[in-house]
Structure 1
Amino acid sequence: MLPSMTFVLGGAASGKSAFAENAIVNSGLIPVYLATARIWDAEIKDRVQVHRDRRDAAWINFEATHDLAHVLCERDASEAVLIDCATMWLTNHVMDGNDLAQAQAALMQALDDCAAPVVIVSNELGQGIVPADADTRAFREAQGRLNIALAARADTAIQVVAGLPNVLKGSL
């Protein structure tokens, strides 16, 4: 049984999405996928296709680049929702010049209001070098604040490294 909210954190290509997908599938609930990525370039297009290819026809798929609340509020307890990923969602808001505090508050409220268990994937950006430019440093800080808020809200928090889960909070 999935907890109300599970937060899955890891570096790029760490296996966090595959781990989260398996958690949803193994829950026995109807799998719902909220894709947050925009197709910016060929590399992102290829990464999105890899994720699509891993999911079978049982998944209900939504593209939700900004407003996750409209999809989350329509879910029920027979479903399990995967949001993949918070980093792309944040990127969309930054690129569009949106108020990040307002967007984050709306996301947190939507997570609280969702009747289905939610697994949310995010990138850990704070373990590398300090970025050379102010915009990238500001994004790293915003991602860090979002990750802290999501981890605090989650019943279970898991860091995935090299495909291996490390439970930070709660239990698998």
Structure 2
Amino acid sequence: MGQSLLITGGARSGKSALAESYALETTGKAIYIATAQAHDAEMEARIAEHQKRRGPEWTTVQAPFDLADALVQSDGGDPRMVDCLTLWLTNLMLSDADWRAQTETLVHTIATQTAPVILVTNEVGGGIVPENKLARDFRDAAGWVNQTIARTCGSVVLCVAGYPMKVKSNDHPV
């Protein structure tokens, strides 16, 4: 099994930049598996900001829904970075997909990978209780997805203000 690392933290905590640096550590090249979809100009700008940080050492794969397949198809070479699980979950929930089944498939896929996998996710349960059902359902689902993936990954890091804090460390020297 390849190394697997989950990086979690709040919005704009530096998770993606940290994950990018880890992904390039071993071979100097990496695969960026993007889950975001640009449905408006603001999201287009966010995606562009992430793309601007990356150079020619990155290959990008779009996987807004079938994340497990993207991992299977890209296994066996350079490290892969998935950014991010919470956008992937949003895509699944808004399309009425079975996000629990998709998460279980992802868990089994991560366990069989030979190349490193770095997954980025957001911690969403630290704030107030959302006022509407969809937001509460999303918060609960994100918590379940994060816990499930964290159990699967060899290492888990909490990113705070751009700095990593070890949560679980089995196979990544943070």
Give yes or no for TM over 0.5. Answer: yes
Q: What is the alpha-carbon distance in structure 1 between the residues aligned to residue 85 and residue 73 of structure 2?
A: 19
Q: Is the 8 A contact 2:28 2:57 kept in 1?
A: no
Calculate the TM-score normalised by the size of structure 2: 0.93
**Aligned twin of 1:112:** 111
Q: What is the alpha-carbon distance in structure 2 between the residues aligned to residue 110 and residue 88 of structure 1?
A: 19
**Aligned twin of 2:10:** 11
* Corresponding residue SS for 1:18: helix
Q: What is the alpha-carbon distance in structure 1 between the residues aligned to residue 139 and residue 70 of structure 2?
A: 27
**Aligned twin of 2:144:** 145
Name whichever of 22-31 and 33-42 sits farther off.
22-31
Unaligned stretches of 5+ residues in structure 1: none
Amino acid at match of 1:55: R
> What are the residue-to-residue correspondences of 1:1-172 with 2, within 5 Å?
4-28=3-27, 30-170=29-169, 171-172=173-174
Amino acid at match of 1:51: H
Unaligned stretches of 5+ residues in structure 2: none
Q: What is the alpha-carbon distance in structure 2 between the residues aligned to residue 70 and residue 153 of structure 1?
A: 17
Q: CA deviation at 1:42?
A: 1.5
Name whichever of 101-110 and 128-137 sits farther off.
101-110
- Percent identity over the alignment is 35
Amino acid at match of 1:10: G
Amino acid at match of 1:106: T
Kindly provide the CA deviation profile for residues 112-166 of structure 1, in whole angstroms up to 9, marking residues without a partner as x. Answer: 2222110000000010111011110010000000000111111110000111111
Q: What is the alpha-carbon distance in structure 2 between the residues aligned to residue 4 and residue 29 of structure 1?
A: 16
Q: Is the 8 A contact 2:82 2:117 kept in 1?
A: yes
Calculate the TM-score normalised by the size of structure 1: 0.94
Q: CA deviation at 1:69?
A: 2.2
* Corresponding residue SS for 2:36: coil
Q: Is the 8 A contact 1:69 1:110 kept in 2?
A: yes
Kindly provide the CA deviation profile for residues 18-49 of structure 1, in whole angstroms up to 9, marking residues without a partner as x. Answer: 00000011222530010000112221111100
* Corresponding residue SS for 2:12: coil
Q: Is the 8 A contact 1:73 1:115 kept in 2?
A: no
Q: Is the 8 A contact 2:35 2:87 kept in 1?
A: yes
What's the Cα RMSD here? 1.3
Name whichever of 47-56 and 25-34 sits farther off.
25-34
